[in-house]
Amino acid sequence: MRRAIALLMIAAGVAAAAQEHSYTQADVENGARLYQASCAGCHGPNGDMVPGIELQRGQFRRATTDSEIVQIIRAGIPGTTMPPTSFTDTQAATIVAYLRTAAPAARSGRGGATVARGDPAKGRAIFESKGQCATCHRVNGSGPRVAPDLSEIGTIRPATELQQKLVDPNAEIRPGNRYVDVVTRNGSKITGRLLNQDTFTIQLIDSNERLVSLPRTELRDVSFVKTSPMPSARGTLSPEEIADVVAYLVTLKGYRP
């Protein structure tokens, strides 16, 4: 690969990704390992070392869909420094999963501090009470499954992004956290968090934590919810309380039963 993924398009964006797959945590982790080993040498650990391209923010030049990016990763781009690779479709797809969902690590001098400065113990208490976060999120095997599981959030999201998500949930909605509105042929409407989809079915978790699998032949319409169901903590929590919650979330490194 010359250690590069010259994925090329401007503003592929979440809209294109949303039409394809949701990604599992295993996909993202495997893709991260392949990216760092084979692609970061040219594109950098955050995917922003090639001028005009920011892989982790969906800023490409020649690809729009996941399948197009996979093809570029595998076949390269003739006449450029991007050669073909020996990656399988599955391996290339995990790299795409990583690029679609990974947050760029904070750069020095570009934004706020990367270290959580609050009190984790206070943050946990706020998370479970005043903040009402535990009414939707699951942590270490406890809590509902309506919203994404946060048991490992401290390993995959920096403090700056966690703080932004608490204050402005709509700033960035990742493909793996999307919600969908589904209308069946008989007019019934179901809203839930997307788990997976393919050519024939779509699977989601509804507001009652029920796993719903629907054949596409029985659906009239499927649309992605453009806003996050998560309320902003601004006005509910003080800046100090938000900092405490962020400090707690950063400590969540994985559930070990």
State pLDDT tens for residues 8-44. Answer: 332 333 334 333 455 676 787 788 888 888 887 778 7
pTM given for the model: 0.57
How many structural domains does the chain have? 3
Share of the chain above pLDDT 90, in %: 39
Does 197 fall in a domain?
A: yes
Same domain (yes/no): 133, 237: yes
Same domain (yes/no): 95, 56: yes
DSSP assignments along 78-139, one per residue? TTSS-------HHHHHHHHHHHHHPPPPPPTTSSS-SS--S-HHHHHHHHHTTT-GGGT--B
Same domain (yes/no): 25, 83: yes
Structure confidence at residue 116 (pLDDT): 59
Backbone Cα Rg of the chain = 19
Give the range of the structural domain holding residue 213, as residue numbers without chain letter: 179-224
Same domain (yes/no): 65, 43: yes
Same domain (yes/no): 56, 143: no
Structure confidence at residue 139 (pLDDT): 94
Report the alpha-carbon distance of residue 106 to residue 250 in Å, rounded: 15
